[in-house]
Amino acid sequence: MKLYVGNLSFDTSESRLNETFAQFGDVQSANLVMDRETGRPRGFGFVEMSDEGARKAIDALDGKDLDGRQIKVNEAKPRENRGGGGGRGRW
């Protein structure tokens, strides 16, 4: 199961995310989403783990403090198609 983890501190690392979620099961991946322009974290990420471990992690970690921030943890939703070609407002 893929989990969305939001409201992360900009100081939280992928290894910190991995170790936090590993308490609840085997973590296949833990990724922070980075800003393309600055290369800095955007304050959210995704963790993939077994369904059972993911449910335990949601119950235990949603709303809890991690690195000074109250994090949001829930099942990741498929990305919505936002349409458009991502142009820069051509005339």
Structure tokens at 68: 């000074």
* pTM, entire model: 0.84
pLDDT at 79: 76
pLDDT at 85: 58
Q: How far is CA 66 from CA 5, 9, 86, 88, in A?
A: 11, 8, 34, 37
Ordered domains of the chain (ranges, CATH): 2-75 (3.30.70.330)
Q: Give tens-digit pLDDT for 16-48.
A: 999 999 999 999 999 999 999 999 999 999 999
pLDDT at 88: 61
